[in-house]
Structure 1
Amino acid sequence: MKNPFKLFDNLFINLINKKMNNKFFSFLFYYITNLGGPFFLIGLVIVLILLGNNMRSLGIEIALALGVSTIVVQILKRTFSRNRPYWILENLNTYGIDLRDYSFPSGHSAASFSVCTIIALNFPAFSLLIMFVAILVAVSRIYLAVHYPTDVLAGIIIGIVSSLIVHYKLYPFLSLYFQNKF
């Protein structure tokens, strides 16, 4: 029996990386992928914290969710050591990106869905917009051939679950603890 994950990955990496390939998507995904990267996200957290009040709380909650999801992603990357698609598959559109770490799971997808989930839980009116952006970041990882679709799906799950744990358990506990200390 053939591996269903491999069939899924091959189907969607061919669809997204090869068949969707055009100048508009190449430009869009090459730049939008950075919204799930560390420079943008650290900057976002700093700006939110500096804004104060509700934004400060949101920034701290996002930072916690990113921390949890990043730890999980890094443990899994080192455990599975899955090679990136462009290291293995031929004839992919690679866009000159050369990463040295492993593929599974997608850290950008986990990070973008961590942020998306925290914002959606705190500001439901922005849910659809922020979800759209997170989906674009996730799809960009496949389009740019740096992740398999299963890497991205795992990252999405990690991001959502990490944020739910932070929002409903960790952040309330820490808020209560620090409120009583000061």
Structure 2
Amino acid sequence: MQGLYEAEFFLLHRIQELRAPFLDWFMERVSFLGNGGWLFIVTGLLLICPKRTRRVGISILGSLLCGFLIGNVFLKNAVMRSRPCWLDGTVALLVASPADYSFPSGHTLAAFETAVSVFLYHRIYGSFMLVLAACIAFSRMYLFVHFPTDVLCGMLLGILIAAGVHIVVEKYKRYGILDIRKK
């Protein structure tokens, strides 16, 4: 495990070599988009309203709920992994040090759940969302608040949860359960 920490800190310190005023500004803002998951929740709520995008909205909101329970409630408290900024105070933080545990990255988890949910229904919009999700994921390492494996696991878990919820939504669509219009 010590070797993994060394490799991850090595990579995080290489990322710190990229620091520049514009990148600092950009990474702070792109990371802010994931704070509290509000952007993703609002996206899901807006998409659930029109009938033609309802399944996308349901998929996003279902994925976010599952991801919150699995990632933020269960895994963070089961693994209890310290953040890199807690273990190495040599890097000046651009954002406030988060108070919760590091594994998995909740920002990355929510971003990939949302992006994959959109991608499974609309490839073009989803592709843009995947680029945004990747930027959010990278920003968490750039800001020195997550290890690379926190981000990688958040990404993989987000993809798996979104795919699983998509399968469930499509299954129930066949039975008309998700059609909530009045007859």
Same fold (TM over 0.5): yes
C-alpha deviation, 1:119, in angstroms: 1.1
Taking every aligned residue pair, what percent have the same amino acid on both sides?
26
Structure 1 stretches of 4+ with a deviation exceeding 6 A read none
Change (3 A) 1:180 1:133: closer
Tell me which protein shows more helix as a share of its residues: 1
C-alpha deviation, 1:131, in angstroms: 1.6
SS of structure 1 residue aligned to 2:96: coil
Change (3 A) 1:179 1:130: closer
- Matches of 1:40 and 1:180 in 2, distance apart? 25
Which residue number in structure 1 is paired with residue 34 of structure 2? 36
Preserved CA contact (<8 Å) 1:81 1:103:
yes
Preserved CA contact (<8 Å) 1:5 1:150:
no
- Matches of 1:118 and 1:135 in 2, distance apart? 15
Q: Matches of residues 142-161 of structure 1 in structure 2 within 5 Å?
A: 142-161=141-160
C-alpha deviation, 1:112, in angstroms: 0.5
SS of structure 2 residue aligned to 1:83: coil
Which residue number in structure 1 is paired with residue 63 of structure 2? 65
Deviation per residue, 1:130-178 (Å, 9 max, x gap):
221111000011111111111000100100000111112x212343362
- Matches of 2:176 and 2:78 in 1, distance apart? 34
C-alpha deviation, 1:4, in angstroms: 4.2
- Matches of 2:97 and 2:65 in 1, distance apart? 25
Of structures 1 and 2, the one with the larger relative CO (CA 8 A, separation 6+) is 1
Preserved CA contact (<8 Å) 2:34 2:110:
yes
Q: Matches of residues 21-170 of structure 1 in structure 2 within 5 Å?
A: 21-37=19-35, 38-50=37-49, 52-74=50-72, 75-168=74-167, 170=168
- Matches of 1:47 and 1:129 in 2, distance apart? 18
- Matches of 1:113 and 1:102 in 2, distance apart? 19
SS of structure 2 residue aligned to 1:178: coil
Equivalenced residue count is 178
